[in-house]
Amino acid sequence: MYILGLTTLGDSAATLLRDGEIVAAAEEERFTRKKHYSGFPYHAMQYCLDEADIKIGEVAHVGLYWKPWVLRHKAIQALKSALISRDMFKARVDRGVAQVGDSYLGMFKHPQRIRKHFGPSKFRFHFLEHHQCHAASAFFVSGFARSAIITWDGTGEDTTTLFSQGEENNLRVLKRIKLPHSLGQFYSAVTNFIGFDMFGGDEWKVMGLAAYGKPVYYDFFANQVLSINGNNDFHLNIRVLDHHLAKHYQFGEEIRKSLGPPRQPDEELTQRHWDIAASAQKVLEDTALHLVRGIHQMTNEENLCMAGGVAFNSVMNGRIMTESPFKNYFVQPAAGDAGCSLGAALMVHHMRLKQPRKFQMKHAYYGPSFSTEECAAALNAANLKFERLADEELLPRVARMIADGAIFGWFQGRMEFGPRALGNRSFIADPRREDMRELLNRKVKLREWFRPLAPSMKEEVSAEMFGRPHHDPFMITVLHVLEEQQKRIPSVVHVDGTARPQTVSRATNPRYWQLIDEFARLTGVPMLLNTSFNIQEPIVCSPQDAINTFKGANFDGLVLENLLVLRS
Domain ranges of the chain: 2-68+108-141+334-352, 183-331, 372-566
pLDDT at 96: 55
- Superfamily covering domain 372-566: Carbamoyltransferase, C-terminal domain (3.90.870.20)
- 365, 426 Cβ separation under 8 angstroms: no
Confidence of residue 98 (pLDDT cuts 50, 70, 90): low
Q: What global pTM score does this model have?
A: 0.96
Res 213 pLDDT > 70: yes
Confidence of residue 79 (pLDDT cuts 50, 70, 90): confident
Question: Fold identical between 2-68+108-141+334-352 and 183-331?
Answer: yes
Confidence of residue 87 (pLDDT cuts 50, 70, 90): confident
What is the arithmetic mean of pLDDT over 254-266? 97
| pLDDT tens-digit series, residues 281-304 | 999 999 999 999 999 999 999 999
Element (DSSP H or E) covering residue 2: strand 2-7
pLDDT at 95: 62
CB 529: neighbour CB atoms within 10 A? 24
CB 169: neighbour CB atoms within 10 A? 18
Please tell me the distance from the alpha carbon of residue 172 to that of residue 122, in angstroms, as a whole number: 30
Nearest to 312 by CA among 342, 335, 286: 335
Q: Any idea which fold 2-68+108-141+334-352 has?
A: Nucleotidyltransferase; domain 5 (3.30.420)
pLDDT at 82: 78
Rounded mean pLDDT of the chain?
96
pLDDT at 80: 80
Secondary structure in 3-state letters for 38-66: CCCCHHHHHHHHHHHCCCHHHEEEEEECC
Res 408 pLDDT > 90: yes
CB 72: neighbour CB atoms within 10 A? 10
Nearest to 379 by CA among 543, 542, 540, 541: 543
- CATH number of 183-331: 3.40.50.1820, 3.40.50.720, 3.40.47.10, 3.30.420.40? 3.30.420.40
pLDDT at 13: 98
pLDDT at 356: 97
| pLDDT tens-digit series, residues 484-511 | 999 999 999 999 999 999 999 999 999 9
Q: Percent of the chain having pLDDT more than 70?
A: 98
Confidence of residue 83 (pLDDT cuts 50, 70, 90): confident
What is the arithmetic mean of pLDDT over 239-252? 96
pLDDT at 324: 97
pLDDT at 102: 64
Confidence of residue 85 (pLDDT cuts 50, 70, 90): confident
| pLDDT tens-digit series, residues 153-204 | 999 999 999 999 999 999 999 999 999 999 999 999 999 999 999 999 999 9
| pLDDT tens-digit series, residues 529-538 | 999 999 999 9
Res 101 pLDDT > 60: no
Instruction: Characterise 207 by phi-psi region: left (phi > 0), alpha (psi -120 to 50), beta (else).
Output: alpha
Reduce the DSSP state of residue 133 to 3 states and report it: helix
What is the arithmetic mean of pLDDT over 426-437? 96
What is the arithmetic mean of pLDDT over 92-116? 79
Res 105 pLDDT > 90: no
Q: What is the CA radius of gyration of the chain?
A: 23
pLDDT at 97: 52
